[in-house]
C-alpha cells in the first residue's frame, strides 16, 4: 500500500489551488463540500470557481504562480494545464512539507483524491493511488448501489442519541446495542423513510433493554425482475444482501439468486404447472413465522410482486399478524421482455393502450372478456399463457381481431437463453410447437409486434 487512507478535516482551513480551469473547479467543488476556505491563483478563472471562492470566504489572486503564494495554504493542489508549472508547485510544496496533489501526475503527489461515496457524515474513499482512477470510479458505482441513500440519516440519528446511550447503559453493553440499532428495526424504519419512528424505537429501547434481544424480524417483498440481474433496483440489491433467509420462486433467475447474501438460508417455494411445491397459504404463514423468530426474511419473486405475483396476498397476511414489511417493485415481465425483444408496448401508429392479462387455465378453461380484448389499437400481453396459447389465439380471432394480427412469444426474456418467435394469431400456436417453446414465455399480441424485426437489439 503506497498511499495510507486518511481523512482530512478541511473545514474553515485555507486550501490553495493553482489553476482556474475545469479541473481546478472540480477540485474546488470537492473541497468546498468539506467546508474549506479556497485560495486560488490563476491568470484566468471561470465563473463557477469565482462563486465558490466567494462562498468560502477565500481569496483570488489573478496572476501567475509564485512560490510565496504557498504561505497562504495548508494543503496545495496543482491543477494547471502546464505540466512544468505543476511540477514546480510540487517541488516547492514538498520543500515546505505541505501536502500536495498534482492532477494526473501521481509521481508529483504526496496525497491523492479518492473516488468518494458520501452518505451524510459517512464517507468512503476508493483510491488506486493514481494507477487506475477509472477503475476506482467503477468500484464507487458498485458501492453506491449497495449502500442505502438513507445511511446518512441513520448516522445522524445515532449521533443525536449518542449521549443518551452513554448515560443509559454501561460501556460493556453499548457495542451490542449499537449493532442492534444499525441492523434491526431502527435501521429498517429509517430505510423506509420513517426517521421519527426509528428515533422513537431507539428511545424506547433505551428504557427497555429486553427489546434489543427479543426484537421481531421483518419481511422484504422484492421484485427480482424478468431475469437479467442488471435490471434489479439498488434497493432490491441492498435488501438481498441484508436478509437472513430467502423464499424464492421458480421465475427468479440463477443470476439474480446469486446476488443474495451467500450465508442466507434459501427456501424454494416455486410453483410449476400441475405441481405446487408449497401451497400459497403455507408460504404466507411461513413468512410470518420466520419474521416472528426475529429473522430478516427476503421474499424474492420474479418480475414485480404486485403484477400476477400474489404479493398482495402475502403482505395482507403479514399486516394481519403485525409483522413489519417493505415492498420493492421490480421490472415486470411485460416491460422487460418486450424491451429486450425490441417490441414497444405502445406506439402512436400501432397501440394507444396496453393490457396485462393472465393466461392461466383454470380447470382447463380460460374465461376472459374476449370482446374487450379484441378491440383495435391496443397491445395485449398474456402472462402464463403458453399452455392456453391456442385458446387465446382462437378466441381473439373469433371475437373480432383479424387472424393476421401479429403475435409473438418471448421465451426466457432478458436472459442469455432468450428466444423470440413471431407469427400471427393463425400461425403462432403451430410455431410454438415446432420450435418447442418452453415456459416461462410471454405472449404479446398487436401491431407493435411488427416492429420486432427492425428494433430488435438484444443478442443473447
Sheet bearing 59-61, strands edge to edge: 59-61, 37-41, 14-18, 75-78, 100-102
Enclosing H/E stretch for 334? helix 333-340
43 is an annotated ligand-binding site residue: yes
- Does 23 count as an annotated binding residue? yes
303 is in an annotated binding site: yes
Whether the CB-CB separation of 425 and 393 falls below 8 Å is answered with yes
- Beta carbons of 147 and 20 less than 8 angstroms apart: no
Q: Are 328 and 222 in contact (CB under 8 A)?
A: yes
Cα–Cα distance measured from residue 224 to residue 236, given in angstroms and rounded to the nearest whole number: 8
**Which position among 249, 301, 412, 424 bears the catalytic label?**
249
CB 236 within 8 A of CB 259: no
Which 3 state secondary structure label does DSSP give 117? Answer: strand
**307 marked ligand binding residue:** yes
CA distance 37 to 192: 37
Q: Which of 413, 411, 367, 406 is nearest to 386 (CA)?
A: 411
DSSP letters spanning 145-198: HHS-TTHHHHHHHHHHHHHHHHHHS-HHHHHHHHHHHHHSHHHHHHHTT-HHHH
- Annotated active-site residue 450? The verdict is no
Number of CB atoms found within 10 A of residue 295's CB: 18
Name which of 180, 154, 146 is nearest 296 in CA terms. Answer: 180
SS3 of residue 265 by DSSP: strand
Instruction: Check the annotation: does 226 bind a ligand.
Output: yes
Q: Is 24 helix (H, G, I), strand (E, B) or coil?
A: helix
Run of H or E residues at 100: strand 100-102
- Residue 240 among known ligand-binding residues: no
Cα-to-chain-centroid distance, residue 385:
31
According to the annotation, is 329 in a ligand binding site?
no
- Distance in angstroms (rounded) separating the CA atoms of residues 63 and 44: 8
DSSP 8-state code for residue 425? T
Q: Are strands 406-411 and 122-126 parallel, antiparallel or unpaired?
A: unpaired
- 376 in a known ligand binding site: no
Active site residue 271: yes
Q: CB of 66 within 8 A of CB of 89?
A: no
Helix or strand run (H / E) with residue 52: helix 47-56
H-helix or E-strand spanning residue 28:
helix 22-33
22 labelled binding-site residue: yes
Euclidean distance between CA atoms 255 and 297, whole angstroms:
20
> Where is the binding site, in residues?
22-23, 43-44, 226, 302-304, 307, 332-333, 384, 413
Question: Which amino acids are annotated as binding site for NAD(+), given as ranges?
Answer: 22-23, 43-44
What residues form the annotated binding site for S-adenosyl-L-methionine? 226, 302-304, 307, 332-333, 384, 413
Residues annotated as catalytic are: 249, 271
Amino acid at each position: 500500500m503506497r498511499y495510507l487512507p486518511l481523512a482530512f478535516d478541511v473545514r474553515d482551513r485555507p486550501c490553495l489551488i493553482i489553476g482556474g480551469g475545469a479541473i481546478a473547479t472540480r477540485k474546488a467543488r470537492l473541497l468546498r463540500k468539506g467546508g474549506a476556505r479556497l485560495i486560488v491563483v490563476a491568470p484566468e478563472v471561470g465563473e463557477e470557481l469565482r462563486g465558490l471562492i466567494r462562498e468560502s470566504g477565500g481569496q483570488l489572486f489573478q496572476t501567475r504562480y509564485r512560490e510565496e503564494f504557498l504561505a497562504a495554504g495548508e494543503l496545495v493542489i496543482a491543477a494547471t494545464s502546464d505540466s512544468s508549472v505543476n511540477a514546480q508547485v510540487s517541488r516547492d510544496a514538498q520543500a515546505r512539507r505541505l501536502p500536495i496533489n498534482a492532477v494526473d501526475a501521481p509521481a508529483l503527489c504526496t496525497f491523492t483524491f479518492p473516488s468518494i461515496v458520501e452518505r451524510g457524515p459517512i464517507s468512503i474513499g476508493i483510491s488506486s493511488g493514481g494507477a487506475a482512477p477509472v477503475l476506482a470510479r467503477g468500484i464507487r458505482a458498485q458501492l453506491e448501489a449497495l449502500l442505502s441513500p438513507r445511511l446518512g440519516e441513520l448516522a445522524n440519528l445515532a449521533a443525536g442519541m449518542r449521549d443518551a446511550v452513554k448515560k443509559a447503559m454501561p460501556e460493556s453493553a453499548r457495542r451490542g446495542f449499537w449493532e442492534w440499532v444499525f441492523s434491526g428495526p431502527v435501521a429498517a424504519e429509517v430505510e423506509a423513510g420513517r426517521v421519527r419512528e426509528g428515533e422513537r424505537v431507539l428511545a424506547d429501547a433505551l428504557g427497555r433493554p429486553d427489546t434489543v434481544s427479543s426484537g421481531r424480524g421483518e419481511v422484504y417483498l422484492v421484485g427480482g425482475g424478468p431475469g437479467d440481474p442488471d435490471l434489479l433496483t439498488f434497493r432490491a440489491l441492498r435488501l438481498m444482501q441484508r436478509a437472513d433467509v430467502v423464499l424464492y420462486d421458480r421465475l427468479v433467475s440463477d443470476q439474480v439468486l446469486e446476488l443474495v447474501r451467500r450465508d442466507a438460508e434459501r427456501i424454494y417455494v416455486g410453483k410449476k404447472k400441475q405441481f405446487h411445491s408449497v401451497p400459497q397459504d403455507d408460504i404466507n404463514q411461513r413468512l410470518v413465522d420466520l419474521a416472528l423468530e426475529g429473522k430478516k426474511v427476503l421474499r424474492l419473486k420474479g418480475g414485480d410482486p404486485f403484477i400476477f405475483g400474489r404479493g398482495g396476498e402475502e403482505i395482507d397476511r403479514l399486516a394481519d399478524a403485525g409483522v413489519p414489511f417493505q415492498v420493492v417493485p421490480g421490472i415486470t415481465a411485460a416491460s422487460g421482455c418486450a424491451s429486450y425483444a425490441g417490441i414497444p408496448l405502445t406506439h402512436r401508429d400501432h397501440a394507444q393502450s396496453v393490457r396485462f392479462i393472465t393466461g392461466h387455465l383454470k380447470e382447463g378453461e380460460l374465461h376472459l372478456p374476449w370482446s374487450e380484448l379484441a378491440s383495435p389499437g391496443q397491445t395485449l400481453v398474456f402472462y402464463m399463457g403458453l399452455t392456453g396459447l391456442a385458446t387465446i389465439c382462437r378466441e381473439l380471432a373469433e371475437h373480432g381481431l383479424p387472424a393476421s394480427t401479429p403475435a409473438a412469444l418471448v421465451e426466457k426474456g432478458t436472459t442469455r437463453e432468450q428466444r423470440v418467435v413471431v407469427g400471427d394469431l393463425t400461425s403462432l400456436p403451430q410455431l410454438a410447437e415446432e420450435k418447442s417453446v418452453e415456459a416461462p414465455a410471454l405472449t404479446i399480441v398487436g401491431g407493435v409486434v411488427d416492429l420486432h424485426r427492425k428494433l430488435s437489439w438484444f443478442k443473447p
